[in-house]
Copies of this chain bind each other. A is one copy, B any other.
Amino acid sequence: MAAGKHFAALMSDRRVHINDVAMRDGLQIEAVFVPTEQKIAMVNALSQTGLSKIEVTSFTSPKAIPALRDAEQVMMEIARVPGVRYVALAPNMRGAQRALECRVDEINLVMSASETHNLANTGMTLAQSRKVLTDIIREARGRAAVNISISTAFGCPMEGHVAPETVYALGDWFASQGADGITLCDTTGMANPMQVAELADGLDQRWPGVELTLHFHNTRGMGLANVIAGLIAGIDRYDASLGGVGGCPYAPGATGNICTEDLVHMLDTMGVATGVDVDRLLVCAARLPAMLVHDIPGAVVRAGKSDSRYPPPANIEAIRARALARETV
């Protein structure tokens, strides 16, 4: 079978699950405080789109990230829709306990694969993060699922190359400790499709029963190309953010996450099922610029879907008549 047909076969009968991280990854870097009721309304709107997960907020210190100081209120007041998993990030045990008190469905914990980034991002050494995250997995058992996001899994903006073995060893540890999910994060948009295909290949067999997610940024324009490589490698879960907002406050030069509605649009056009209604997503995305008071990187919200039709020029029949008249000369 030719390679193109082989690719098409590989993409058929797939079901992709999408976790929207805009309300956490997007809002945490905003200078303005988005009013709590607007956050709740946006999560409620996103709940109606068919997303598998929504990362609602982060139970971080209100002093560190004032933009998310209303984490409790948002998590308690959203209208939870059955079938949607409501996730919150927790940077430490205190945050995890706050999240558990709010009955989150899933806690997302973060540590980097590189020590310099981990120190800058979490204030902990790798050994300390590993211990804290392991303790939180135990604490949450029976109360909420736990996902481990491994930052800088595809490279560190400060240390450079990150060895795949480092990423695998971290994943092995957390899989053995009962993590429900592991996300490999390209925190600063360094990943390329070759690297993604190679790093992600066979992970479903390495960590059986663990939900595997890939998290890309579109920093160098490769975001959706990396998703194609991830799909080839067999990964069916992706983080993305509405409008493509987000970034990493500790990663210079980083731009937004891959854009949720652009991702769903691409998968829709490919015939890959996501369960997400792209039109409803586009309505949500169109509300973001007013909420954030700045433009958003998403492409489809500006260009329209690829099945958009435009009228021909008003004088098309005159053009045709002129063309045919030349014929008879």
Chain A: residues with CB nearer than 8 A to chain B?
2-8, 10-11, 116, 119-120, 123-125, 128, 155, 157-158, 160, 189-195, 197-198, 200-202, 218-225, 227-229, 232-234, 250-255, 259, 262, 265-266, 269-272, 298-300, 302-313, 316, 319-320, 322-324, 326-327
Contact = CB atoms under 8 A, between A and B. Distances in A.
A266 B222 contact: yes
A201 B306 contact: no
Nearest to A305: B220
Contact of A221 (B123, B220, B270, B299): B299
Given A189-B303, A225-B227, A270-B192, A120 B7 contact: no
Nearest to A117: B312
A10 B250 CA distance: 36
Which of A190, A221, A316: most chain B CB closer than 10 A?
A221
Contact of A194 (B8, B234, B251): B8
A117 to B, nearest CB: 8
Closest 8 CB pairs of A and B: A4-B201, A4-B233, A192-B269, A221-B299, A194-B270, A4-B197, A221-B262, A224-B225
11 contacts: A2-B233, A3-B234, A120-B312, A125-B323, A128-B326, A192-B270, A219-B303, A220-B262, A220-B303, A221-B223, A222-B262
Contacts of A11: 194
Contacts of A323: 119, 123-125, 128
Contact of A4 (B3, B232, B322): B232
Tell me the number of copies of this protein: 2
A81 B302 CA distance: 40
A86 B303 CA distance: 32
Contact of A228 (B193, B299, B307): B193
Given A3-B234, A8-B194, 12 more contacts: A2-B233, A3-B232, A4-B234, A120-B313, A190-B306, A219-B299, A220-B299, A221-B259, A224-B225, A253-B310, A255-B299, A255-B302
Given A128-B323, A194-B270, A158 B220 contact: no
A137 to B, nearest CB: 20
A124 B270 CA distance: 33
Contacts of A6: 232
Contacts of A195: 269-270
B221 A119 contact: no
B4 A319 contact: no
Nearest to A199: B4
Residue with the greatest number of chain B CB neighbours at <10 A, chosen from A220, A228, A324: A220
Contact of A266 (B3, B10, B220): B220
Contacts of A221: 218, 223-224, 259, 262, 266, 298-300
Contact of A308 (B157, B271, B320): B157
A223 to B, nearest CB: 8
A260 to B, nearest CB: 11
A8 to B, nearest CB: 5
A310 B252 contact: yes
